[in-house]
Amino acid sequence: MSDLAATVKAMQANVDAITKSLESVTEEVKEVKGSFNEFGKTVDAVVADTAFRKSGDLGEIVQESPKVIQKSLWGGRFLTNSDLFN
């Protein structure tokens, strides 16, 4: 009978340890879910921003096209008389 009582106490100690481990894992899962939700919100914001800019064909505000910059007369080379006096 005493062996049975000792076995039950050992099993109860194991159950308590497993319960504490499970509680710890549950807290970690909650933290990961929170981080994942924050990441998801950030991704949704980026997608919404880029989708808004790409949806000009749907009647929304169109992002202006970049203006072409005229290159200088010099163009990275030495100027000649004809370049200067034309």
pLDDT, tens digit (0-9, with 9 covering 90-100), for 16-67: 999 999 999 999 999 989 888 888 888 888 877 776 555 555 555 556 666 7
Compute CA distances 13 → 4, 17, 19, 22, 71, whole Å: 14, 6, 10, 14, 80
Half-sphere exposure of 72 (CA within 13 A, CB side): 7
SS3 75: coil
pTM above 0.75, yes or no: no
